[in-house]
Amino acid sequence: MHIAIIMDGNGRWAKAQGKKRVDGHKVGAEVVKKITTYCSNNPEIKYLTLYAFSTENWKRPKLEVEFLMKLLDNWLKKELDTYLKNEVKFEVIGDISKFSKKLQDRIKLTQQKTKHFSKLTQVLALNYGSQDEITRAIKRLCDNKEEITSSNISKNLDTGIKNIPDVDLLIRTSGEVRLSNFLLWQVAYSEMFFTPTLWPDFTEKELEKIINDFKKRDRRFGGI
């Protein structure tokens, strides 16, 4: 099973608590750890893709963007032991070339140290936008003079290059009901769940309930 989550609501959670937006991001990062650990202990879940930083997030205030970059760097450094302990492979989709060399090196190091694991693959979508991903895939096809087919586009997406399957279950927290340029191609036949829970309040128990509801759905993939 491949679960993808749009982790939304950190800022609203912080505002409701009378705290700064960055505090919401800190708590949200801890929820990532809890949910990843839960998924690593569920043999049915093989992929967990988390929308961590979109191509549109650069529009946020400079100080918030800088904080998010530092938070990601520190988080990957601190949580490497968690990846190793839970046998989680770390992967990334998106264009990380815009990140600092230090952060790019941290990402590559985490990928290198966890590449042999197969229990769970955690995928962070970083500087990711689905329209950008599809555009890059088509450019790659044109550069290689390959035929533009559905199959070839899939193979040249960030997910296809890294052998990450299409999404089975998409979850968005915070009550918003939209995809926000996330995995538009890969969720073509995924089941979608939208919860009003803000990401810092999202728990393993709620995820388990959603998974149980997902199992009850009849997935026909366009058939009868």
Catalytic residues: 8, 57
86 CA to centre of own chain: 18
Instruction: Specify burial of residue 215 (Cβ count, 10 A radius: 0-12, 13-18, 19+).
Output: exposed
Cβ neighbours of residue 133 closer than 8 Å, sequence gap 6 or more:
93, 94, 157, 158, 185
- Helix axes of 21-40 and 62-85: crossing angle, nearest 10 degrees: 20
CATH number of 2-129+166-216: 3.40.1180.10
Tens digits of per-residue pLDDT, 20-41?
999 999 999 999 999 999 999 9
Domain ranges of the chain: 2-129+166-216
- pTM for this predicted structure: 0.95
Percent of the chain with pLDDT over 90: 96
Tens digits of per-residue pLDDT, 182-205?
999 999 999 999 999 999 999 999
